[in-house]
Amino acid sequence: MNINLLPKLDFARHCKEKQWIVLFWPNNFYEEWRQHGVAGGSLRDADPTPPEKLLQQIWLHQRIHRDGITTIDGQSVRILHPGFWNHEAGPDFRNAIVQFGNDPPRVGSVEIDLSPSFWQSHGHESNPRYRDVILHVVWQGSKPTQGRATLLLKPLLDAPLEELALWFAAEELPGPQASIGKCSAPLRNLKGESITELLRQAAQVRLHRKATQLQARARETGWEQALWEFALSALGYKHNRWPMRRLAELNPWLSGNSKNPQSLEARLLGLGNLLPRESKAGSVHLHLRELWDVWWREADAVRSLILPRESWCMAGLRPVNQPVRRLALAAGWLAEGRMIPRLERWLEQSLPDEALPRTLEAAFAVAPHPFWQSHWTFRSSIQGTPQPMLGLTRATDLAINVVLPWLWMRAVASQNDSLRRVAEHRYFAWPASQDNATLKLARLRLLGETKSALFKTSSAQQGLLQIAQDFCNHSNALCEGCPFPELVQAWQVRLSGGVQSVDRSITPL
Ligand code: SF4
């Protein structure tokens, strides 16, 4: 499947979120539950004036056209980091990193409002908490806010507002709530296969959400660049997604004509401001000197693109997750430049389910790196045995969050039904990811237990997360107003009356 021969995305573009789910999974009752449950509320609220929370979510996830944007008065602006959502008094986002024109990047707050006039009418002007606001993001308006750079959000959206409203209705989990939820009793009354089916349908919704986000970016930058940006972002984990994404956005400059992995590593680490200036003698010193030999020649020409150190959050990061290590892997991918054909070959190969993680890890493998295979970081001592650059756990994260949604959506866009089914089969057959606190909490609340026996596949885990996000996020620790228990009960009655709708559209290989 040659990427350049793919038909344009018109087919995919004109299908709305719900229509797609109906198209590929006609019996997905879980999507109906979402639409009629709390998740649908945001959608209805979205028109004609979107709630500010929705605008904040759009900003947080940067569901906007990020390239070539300008403020209302025509100044170019790059969002290097959208900032951290502030749920206390004061501006909506703290510690954002924004670059105006070719000026050095600025760190400060971002305030989101419906209109520039809110700056005065909400009293931000005279409130000292808002003094460090460097960007006022407004839904609509024609004049900039006095004394603040002002960005219009409405024309920048990367998808229709109602589609984004439904997408965000399922974002973020609530804070830690250890109590068992009201739905746990009706869920425990269901037979094992019914719970499996429910999780599967919720996982279909989740696959679709990730795929539509990738597709929105692919409309702007192409499929290859969208894959690259989301893969690097996923390698940034929770805290370093944005600097990794920003470096991925610099790909056209990064790659240039060079296929030399060392030059590419120097550029990635140099642009990321992650090259230490000093080192002890020995292998670290030697490797750093080679990287600096490249970077000092190039740095001046791209000084305005270098990320500030504040972009990165290194506190509490395990050595294996350090961005320097992941960027060295990314340099290998760029140098070898055969990522898309490799993934295509991987999808087209006939593989047993148990071989999926190992074979995907192999598809992502690069030539052994003389320095990074024996060092975790620039500070660590030499390791006795070669260290993997990716590993099976990260390969699984990439598969579930990026690779399979990307392959699935590309097959949809090219109307290649057999490859779509293979991507779907692999998504549902993928072995379970590493357990974590979020999954444990969701299991406890919804099923009243923390054992993971039901969750042998990643898709079951994804389905559980989707339900928790769709319903728990719109309720509280006491499950007040949550329609999920009633929906489960009604479904149970239908099942016991013999009315069962089960999607059999996934063909085993
Ligand atoms: S909020 Fe709803 S879905 Fe979440 S635990 Fe309570 S009843 Fe279950």
492-505: per-residue pLDDT in tens?
887 777 544 433 33
223 closest CA partner among 209, 235, 234, 211? 211
Residue 450's pLDDT is 62
How far is ligand 1, taken at its centre, from the CA of residue 164, in Å? 23
Whether residue 33 has pLDDT greater than 90: no
- 3-class secondary structure, 423: helix
User: Cβ(374)–Cβ(382) under 8 Å?
Assistant: yes
Question: Residues with beta carbon inside 6 Å of ligand 1?
Answer: 181-183, 445-446, 471-472, 475, 479, 482, 484-485
How far is ligand 1, taken at its centre, from the CA of residue 181, in Å? 5
| For residues 19-32, average pLDDT | 76
How far is ligand 1, taken at its centre, from the CA of residue 207, in Å? 22
User: Cβ(91)–Cβ(111) under 8 Å?
Assistant: yes
Residue 170's pLDDT is 58
In terms of average pLDDT, the best of 24-38, 132-146, 182-196 is 132-146
Residue 503's pLDDT is 38
| Alpha helix positions (H), 153-250 | 161-168, 184-189, 192-221, 223-235, 241-249
Ligand 1 atom, smallest distance to 470 CA: 3
Convert the pLDDT of each residue in 89-100 to its tens digit.
Answer: 889 998 899 999
Residue 408's pLDDT is 97
Return the residue whose CA atom lies nearest to atom 4 of ligand 1: 472
- 3-class secondary structure, 366: coil
Confidence of residue 9 (pLDDT cuts 50, 70, 90): very low
What is the pTM (predicted TM-score) of this model? Answer: 0.78
How far is ligand 1, taken at its centre, from the CA of residue 300, in Å? 55
Residue 136's pLDDT is 97
Angle (CA) 325 328 334, round 5°? 145
User: Cβ(415)–Cβ(8) under 8 Å?
Assistant: no
Convert the pLDDT of each residue in 139-158 to its tens digit.
Answer: 999 899 999 999 999 999 98
User: Cβ(184)–Cβ(447) under 8 Å?
Assistant: yes
| For residues 14-32, average pLDDT | 69
User: Cβ(387)–Cβ(372) under 8 Å?
Assistant: yes
Q: Which amino acid is at 451?
A: K
Angle (CA) 220 221 223, round 5°? 110
Cα separation of 170 and 181, whole Å?
Answer: 18
Percent of the chain with pLDDT over 90: 46
Cα separation of 426 and 448, whole Å?
Answer: 29
